[in-house]
Structure 1
Amino acid sequence: MVYASIDKIITEQELLKYRNVNTGYIDVDLSFFDKNQRTQEQNKIMHCLFREIAVWSCGYETPKDELEYKNYMKKQYSDKPFKTSEMTSKEATDFIAYIIDFCFQAGVPFRKKGVEMTDDIQRYLYLCLKHRVCAVTGVKGEVHHIDTIGAGRDRRHVDHSQHRLVCLSREMHIKAHTMGWEEFAALHHIDGIKLTAEQVKEIKYK
């Protein structure tokens, strides 16, 4: 026996609409969701990224262009054929990060905010730091220390792994200082991240 719940209250009269006239039972469709499987939101993000690459490369987008760049990115990502529909959530997250990394390296601009083009904001913020891309606007950026270092201290001798960092354009950097970080972060739905000592080296920040 299977017990099910519904997400809204319905009247008995409404419920009767689903009764099978032959059996007298209520007919329902039952499906199981694998929580480890790639989500619809992840699928949407992937296709948004493929469209961005198509527009950047061709100047326009068609379903054919989107499919072409989808297949291109899949071949670049792995030498073994795979279906994005069969990915786990973790595999999809890694693939999305790979596509974003490609876009940053190639200079592919996003027409939407970058934070809307990822399902892993922490990794996105790291890639922004690595490629010096503003986490808000997507233009060229610079590393911003959220946690104050202190006047007179030499940044070359500061352990940057002990401070929250974010990459911002000059304009956004000034706004963050003017508004204060908490208000700025709430407005743009981002925050800084702390990196490991190894990651600080990877982003080439001294």
Structure 2
Amino acid sequence: MQLLRTRLIEKDGKWYQVQELNEKPNLDHIETVSGSIDEYYTYSELADTRKARPQQRRLFFALLNDIVDEFIVPQDFLKAMFYLQYQIYTDGKQISLSNGTQSTVSDANKLLDLVIDFMFEWHVPFKKGYELLPRDQEYYLFECCRHRVCMICGNKADIHHVDVIGAGMNRAHVDHTKRHVMALCRKHHGEIEQIGQQDFSAKYHVPVDGIKLDVETLRKIGVQGNYGKTTN
């Protein structure tokens, strides 16, 4: 995984991305995968190249403390484990959250995503790190939905539809991939319905736009709907 410098070019009302590669690509591999060396698809995301923030460091160690409390393991062991996991995930890239680090905000976010994912998978309660969690981060909202954990309090959650489904409409006949959802427990689900989205957002300092989920995720969390012939 390498960081590519990208330039945006506008031509005839259309926008194009031009990426500068620091080494010659494997043309044989490209042709094998795409059938052509002139046109192929890649995945890209906007990288935040600012240096990793102190807030990210505080969140990382607060979450490690939550895991320490749950499993009674040394913090240094967990730090080394997640650093190694990050290195494997990024094909050998090193990371550091120390003062003077060369790691970026995007690098630190990838590391935090690995820790948050671990905590959801192993049902580790968010305690010390809960108030520091970036609830506006799409990955966190996705994980809350995927594991049916309330984004406000961490308790067992229902899937709340931001795009209201009309009364009398059969939810099993709805394509939920086209609707925005949030994970909220019964208490907070009822509260957002009672006080409205804007007051709810202001009270808990969370976004209320929701996110869209793919078919596989919706099926795994038991949301039945009309998904055509798409299979897992």
2:138 maps to: 122
Offset at 1:102?
0.7
Please report how far the alpha carbon of residue 119 of structure 1 lies from its aligned counterpart in structure 2 after TM superposition.
Answer: 7.5
Closer, same or farther: CA 115–129 of 1 in aligned 2, 3 Å: farther
Alignment of 1:1-206 (within 5 A): 36-58=50-72, 65-79=74-88, 80=92, 82-85=94-97, 86-112=102-128, 114=130, 116-118=132-134, 121-190=137-206, 191-195=208-212, 197-198=214-215, 200-201=217-218, 204=221, 205-206=223-224
CA RMSD of aligned residues (A): 2.6
Distance 1:39 1:119, change over 3 A: farther
Larger displacement relative to structure 2 (83-92 or 140-149): 83-92
After TM superposition, give the deviation of residue 195 of structure 1 in Å. Answer: 1.2
Give the 3 Å change call, closer, same or farther, for CA 202–82 of structure 1 in structure 2.
farther
- 1:66 positional shift: 2.1
Aligned residues of 1:145 and 1:165 also touching (Cα < 8 A): yes
In 2, Cα distance between the equivalents of 1:174 and 1:45? 30
Contact 1:142–1:168 at 8 Å: present in 2 too? yes
Structure 1 residues 173 and 112: CA distance shift in structure 2, 3 A: farther
1:85-133 CA-partner distances (Å, limit 9, x unpaired): 3422111111111111110111111125746223752221111011111
Distance 1:120 1:168, change over 3 A: closer
CA change 1:203–1:181 in 2 (3 A) is farther
Following the alignment from structure 2 to structure 1, what is the Cα–Cα distance between the partners of residues 132 and 78? 20
Question: CA separation in 2, counterparts of 1:183 and 1:203?
Answer: 31
CA contact (8 A) 1:146 1:163 kept: yes
Q: Is the 8 A contact 1:129 1:203 kept in 2?
A: no
Q: What are the ranges of 5 or more consecutive residues in structure 2 without an aligned counterpart?
A: 1-47, 225-232
Identity of paired residues, percent?
27
Structure 1 pair 147–128 and aligned structure 2 pair: CA distance change class (3 A): same
| Contact 1:160–1:200 (Cα < 8 Å) also in 2 | no
1:143 deviates by 0.5
Distance 1:119 1:201 in 2: 21
TM-score, reference length from structure 1: 0.71
Amino acid in the other structure paired with 1:181: Q
3-state SS of 1:143 partner: strand
Secondary structure of the 1:78 match is: helix
Contact 2:86 2:110 in 1 (8 A): no
Tell me the distance in 2 between the aligned counterparts of 1:98 and 1:187: 29
Match of 1:16 in 2: none
Q: Indicate if the aligned counterparts of 1:118 and 1:124 stay in contact, CA closer than 8 A.
A: yes
- Bigger share in helix: 1
How many residues end up aligned between the 2 structures?
168
Residue ranges of structure 1 left out of the alignment (5+ in a row) = 1-33
Contact kept? 1:45, 1:118, Cα under 8 Å: no
